Amino acid sequence: MRFALLTSAVLLSPVFAQNFDIVIAGGRIVDGAGNPWYYGDVGIKGDSIAAIGNLSGATAGQRLDAKGMVVAPGFIDIHTHARRGIFLDPAATNYIRQGVTTLMEGPDGSSPLPIAPFLEKVGAAHIAPNFGTFAGQGSIRQAVMGLVNRPATPEEIEKMRQIARQAMLDGAFGITTGLFYVPGNYSSTEEVIEVEKVAGEMGGMHHSHMRDEAAGVLDSVRETIRIGEDGHMPTQITHHKIIGKQNWGKSIETIKLVEEARARGVDVTIDQYPYTASSTGTASLIPQWAQEGGQKALVERLDAPATRAKIKTEVIQRIEFDRGGGDPANVVMANCSWDHSLDGKNLAEITKMRGREVNFENAAETELEIQHSGGCQGIFHAISEEDVERIMKYPFTMVASDGEIPQFGVGAPHPRSYGTFTRVLARYVREKHVITLEDAIHKMSGLPAERLKLFDRGLIRPGMKADIAVFDAAKVEDLATYEKPHQYAVGYKWVLVNGQVVVENDRVTKARPGRILYGPAKK
């Protein structure tokens, strides 16, 4: 969607009689709707944008000189794991220092339940960014059935629907699925649709970590589309990627499937992070059937020689053809809570450290030992740059980090938590010209705001909340790397949330104006 550009003579003529709390003066306004940039001033009163135009004659409590800077809506991250860290760092420093002013939680089918007390706790933490959440289908299923691998009964589905209904009333924006993960993986498509229908009827959306992002990616896209189509609700393929070298290039076909669905009226969209590595638990290398019942049950299976051998065969396949990307060195430990000496080391290195020759079979044995001890958060290098760029260019793709709020200096987390939005601006806009500045900001602000029905955020418009990022497009840079991830993005002159400055000259202020945002059915 594109919005009419505000260029009326009234708005662009000098405004003398107004009094603002803050005026952001002389910047290059990129409005978040995808329109061409234009020069102008932004006047803020309280928590909202009050005027746009030539405000040189207006009085202001604070005037911010934005000459040479881009003035954009604050970025909205529609997929975060921010509950990992929000209570240790309520400022969400890694996010606000890259212009992110709204964080959405509850992805991949996992969320706290019930929703209401969780949001109350976050609100009481005096956060800097705004914060909202989805409800997780996997968490709902686990609350009703535990971690069992069997179809749900009609009575169990009805209990899940009741929990979903209460989550929407508590303020969830919809229901996410993590059909790759346990216990979501044990759900049939039909079961998911019945639960998702509740969110659809209440104005919510479906947001899916698909069942398979490797060999089965096309069927998984079809399933995601079907959930939205049969559930009568917007549906989103989250952190869309193509995993495994033999699957690279299939984004041509996945995007075609999305286009065909949209042409027949299915409201399906995409989000992605701009990296060629994913990050999730090392349990992603373990077959889902072996994870039934949780860690204790998995350990018992690993201790049974015949079952261990069966699991190992599948782990070998996943290292060679799936998230392992064909090389044990592609699997890196990001954070091992039980042995931080492994943080930053890859599966090939650990295999060699344990006195084994590096090959798929021995790497699988090492992985089984790691999982027996509790597993680690991992980074998996198995994505192609060409697929990243193709997905990014698609008009209905948003930017989302899939990140968390790391404890600074601890572990070796994926750099996406520190750099996602800035990397798009620096690498894919400024350096590679994959997309335009206007399109990038639309993907980071206006488009996710539309998707979430945040009709008072995501655009530079009078009446909108004053969530604003002011940055130097020539100098903005993501410094976080896989080798040295704990580095904040730079190039941000000011970041405002609800009209208050939370970042000034790449430094975090003491302001904590973030608010809890509620979904469409909140009562």
Distances (CA, A) of 168 to 59, 90, 115, 160, 266: 43, 25, 9, 12, 22
463 C-beta neighbours (distance < 10 Å), count: 10
Query: Can you give the pLDDT at residue 523?
Result: 80
Question: Would residue 502 count as lying in a domain?
Answer: yes
The parent domain of residue 62 ranges over 1-107+436-480+488-510
Let me know whether 5 and 100 are in one domain. Answer: yes
Let me know whether 295 and 376 are in one domain. Answer: yes
Average pLDDT, whole number, for the chain? 96
| DSSP state for residue 208 in the 8-state scheme | E
pLDDT confidence bin for 18, thresholds 50/70/90? confident
Distances (CA, A) of 306 to 310, 311, 313, 373: 6, 9, 11, 19
Residue where a domain terminates, one of 381, 402, 424: 381
Residue 207 has pLDDT above 70, yes or no: yes
H or E element at residue 261: helix 251-263
Let me know whether 285 and 371 are in one domain. Answer: yes
Let me know whether 460 and 362 are in one domain. Answer: no
Distance from the Cα of residue 172 to its chain's centroid: 16
Question: Would residue 375 count as lying in a domain?
Answer: yes
* Cβ partners under 8 Å of residue 387, min gap 6: 241, 242, 248, 249, 250, 251
Residue 287 has pLDDT above 90, yes or no: yes
Question: Would residue 16 count as lying in a domain?
Answer: yes
Task: Please give the average per-residue pLDDT across 468-482, as a whole number.
Answer: 98
Question: Would residue 495 count as lying in a domain?
Answer: yes
pLDDT confidence bin for 449, thresholds 50/70/90? very high
**Cα angle 203, 208, 214; round to 5:** 160
Question: Would residue 69 count as lying in a domain?
Answer: yes
Let me know whether 373 and 441 are in one domain. Answer: no
Cβ–Cβ under 8 Å, residues 487 and 36: no
State what percent of residues in the chain have pLDDT above 70. 97
CA atoms within a 13 Å half-sphere pointing along the CA-CB vector of 222: 5
Let me know whether 373 and 447 are in one domain. Answer: no
Cβ–Cβ under 8 Å, residues 46 and 21: yes
State what percent of residues in the chain have pLDDT above 90. 96
Let me know whether 375 and 443 are in one domain. Answer: no
Q: Which two tokens stand for residue 85?
A: 């860290």
H or E element at residue 397: strand 397-399
Residue where a domain terminates, one of 381, 405, 425: 381
* Cβ partners under 8 Å of residue 342, min gap 6: 333, 336, 350, 370, 376
Query: Can you give the pLDDT at residue 148?
Result: 98
pLDDT confidence bin for 4, thresholds 50/70/90? very low
The answer to whether the peptide bond before residue 114 is cis (omega within 30 degrees of 0) is yes
Residues 197 and 201: their CA atoms lie apart, in Å, by 6
Let me know whether 364 and 457 are in one domain. Answer: no
CATH of the domain at 7: 2.30.40.10
pLDDT confidence bin for 9, thresholds 50/70/90? very low
Query: Can you give the pLDDT at residue 6?
Result: 43
Question: Would residue 172 count as lying in a domain?
Answer: no
- pLDDT tens readout for residues 61-119: 999 999 999 999 999 999 999 999 999 999 999 999 999 999 999 999 999 999 999 99
Question: Would residue 295 count as lying in a domain?
Answer: yes
Q: What is the pTM of this model?
A: 0.96
Let me know whether 442 and 377 are in one domain. Answer: no
Residues 111 and 83: their CA atoms lie apart, in Å, by 9
Cβ–Cβ under 8 Å, residues 164 and 140: yes
Residue where a domain terminates, one of 381, 407, 427: 381
Query: Can you give the pLDDT at residue 185?
Result: 98
Residue 17 has pLDDT above 70, yes or no: no
Let me know whether 1 and 103 are in one domain. Answer: yes
Cβ–Cβ under 8 Å, residues 254 and 224: no
Cβ–Cβ under 8 Å, residues 139 and 105: no
Let me know whether 361 and 445 are in one domain. Answer: no
Report how many domains make up the chain.
2
For the chain, count helices (H), then strands (E).
Answer: 16, 21
Query: Can you give the pLDDT at residue 247?
Result: 98
Nearest to 115 by CA among 169, 72, 37, 188: 169
pLDDT confidence bin for 14, thresholds 50/70/90? low
Cβ–Cβ under 8 Å, residues 107 and 273: no
Question: Would residue 395 count as lying in a domain?
Answer: no
Nearest to 499 by CA among 101, 131, 132, 125: 101
